[in-house]
Amino acid sequence: MAPMTRPHRAGSPVWRLVLLALLAAALLATGCATQNTVVNPVTGRVERSALSEDQLQAQADEAREALIDEHGLYTHPEVQAYVTEIGLKVARLSHAPELPWSFTILDTEISNAFALPHGQVFVTRGLLALLQNEAELAAVLGHEIAHVTARHGAHRATEAAFANIGVAAAINVGQFLERRGLRGAAQRMKRLGMSLAAGLIATYDRQQELEADRIGTDYLARAGYDARQMVAVLEVLQMVERFHADRAREQKREAPGSDWLSSHPGTDQRLREAQRFTAAARRVASDGRERFLKRIDGLVWGDSPEKGLVRDRLFVHPRVGYAVSAPAGWEFDVEGSAVALHTPDNDATLTVRLLPKLAGRTHAQVIENLLAPTEGRSAPRKVGAFNGTHFIGSRLRGDTRHPLRATVVTGPGSRLYLIDYTARDEAAMERALAAMQAAEQSFRAITAADRRAAQVWRIGSTVMPVGGFAELARASPLREDADATLRLINGLYGLKPGEGEPAAGELVKTVR
Ligand SMILES: [Zn+2]
């Protein structure tokens, strides 16, 4: 049976009475046992929980901080207001309208959405950029809202506690579109993988994902949207997967995050299921496409000025105030106020990092505090226009000698930076050294030319030109994969030429 035909309405007085009665019954039944019980708003059944609701809230708040630390908040008042508006519209029609719902946009190009117990929902700007209309946005949020109302996070925490994994390790982040974003995101996913391993972010199982799809579809229909848009969102997920797999193949890289993806519920199965339970859905004339495109206009695409922008061989960090150029063929990985430049084989890395005041006031103090050498020597070195100190030496830990090679620079704004040379082995260091030194010498305060080259890319909409995607690509600032990227953000990546392609004059998304 299609779930959208459920007879009960969340929030109705009868429903609340039933809920109260069940809660009272649960309290009586457990007496003074230490276990907590709570009524599942979706099933109406009493569930035991290892955590009190206050403990669950405290954990959710901790997880929220971890998520914001990892990705940053995306501050764009119009887009934020829109996501909140649609989120609340769906949440208020859910099984738990009374929760303190919040909808937060994370500043990352990775496409994902998360939910924490008690109504904290997160969506990344990378995912927003890939959606085609308001109904798809409602579908994503509806799925996450369903994780909350069905208490999937609470179940995870309880399982972990009962299995003695440790309650603190059972933070309950649901992942909807757990897929790699654009360039640089592979490393970020690896880090996310590490937090997963550490148990910081638990994921939902297949059954819970399917349930969230089903309940989310119900919410979508209650809010007056076309329930089949849940299927459309799952197709977006597949398309993104294909896009990244194709890019990886072209660049002869290993397919992105394969371990991590394989540990997750298959999109194919979810798609098949969703197609089944939306087959009888009522058609809705408007999917809110024009409204959606208008409201997300200006959304950042790709790198953010907050974290620094990579443009070809150039890295510019507008917020911190420096720029550096990479040798041809090298790759960047951006992290906080630091950037790492990797050789094409990823066997040597030059990292440029703005240092906190704690690291030391002088070059010598920084070397002592951060490198902690056992032996070595320092020599003055000019880095572009700045004064620096280059250190070569080693650190002994037990029987192991770690080679050290780094430059401390008094850079833009008279702040201290560390330029750190690392390599897999001495041979790799030898091979990369000259290129690393050249990259070090390119370290500079942002110039007018850097500023021009590092314009922020934003999602906009326009009418399809006569020349189709090829013409749209030429007009956009995108360089690499421009045609494929424009197809992806329009939900048309991987289709046969001409298939579903918008006619000239139709409204399409673009990057400007
Ligand atoms: Zn999910």
What are the tens digits of pLDDT across the range 351-395?
A: 999 988 888 899 999 999 888 999 999 999 999 999 999 999 999
Write down the pLDDT at residue 488: 94
Number of other CB atoms surrounding residue 438 within 10 Å: 13
Centre of ligand 1 to C-alpha 2, Å, is 19
**What's the number of CA atoms in the CB half-sphere (13 Å) around residue 307?**
26
Dmax (CA) of the chain? 79
Centre of ligand 1 to C-alpha 77, Å, is 26
Centre of ligand 1 to C-alpha 138, Å, is 14
Centre of ligand 1 to C-alpha 28, Å, is 34
Closest to 34 in 3D by CA, of 13, 17, 14, 48: 48
Spatial separation of the C-alpha atoms in residues 438 and 443, rounded to whole Å: 9
Centre of ligand 1 to C-alpha 317, Å, is 34
Spatial separation of the C-alpha atoms in residues 392 and 149, rounded to whole Å: 57
Measured CA angle at 201 (ends 195, 204), to 5 deg = 135
Token pair 């959710």 is found at 60
444-445 and 375-383 strand pairing: unpaired
Torsion on CA atoms 378, 383, 386, 391, rounded to nearest 10: -20
Write down the pLDDT at residue 492: 93
Write down the pLDDT at residue 189: 39
Centre of ligand 1 to C-alpha 273, Å, is 14
Q: Which residues of the chain fall below pLDDT 70?
A: 1-35, 156-203, 252-266, 336
Strand residues in 251-343 grouped as ranges (E): 309-311, 314-317, 322-325, 331-335, 338-342
Residues with CB under 5 A from ligand 1 (ion): 174, 176, 209, 212
Q: Give Rg (Cα) of the chain.
A: 26
Handedness of CA 99, 100, 103, 104 (dihedral sign): negative
Tens digits of per-residue pLDDT, 158-217?
665 554 433 333 332 323 322 222 233 334 433 443 333 333 344 677 788 889 999 999
Write down the pLDDT at residue 65: 80
Spatial separation of the C-alpha atoms in residues 408 and 392, rounded to whole Å: 12
Centre of ligand 1 to C-alpha 358, Å, is 41
Centre of ligand 1 to C-alpha 500, Å, is 28
Centre of ligand 1 to C-alpha 484, Å, is 27
Centre of ligand 1 to C-alpha 349, Å, is 36
Task: Answer for the pair 143, 216: CB distance below 8 angstroms, yes or no.
Answer: yes
Centre of ligand 1 to C-alpha 323, Å, is 39
Centre of ligand 1 to C-alpha 210, Å, is 8
Which residue stretches of 296-425 are H helix?
Answer: 363-366
Centre of ligand 1 to C-alpha 141, Å, is 10
Write down the pLDDT at residue 158: 67
Number of other CB atoms surrounding residue 71 within 10 Å: 24
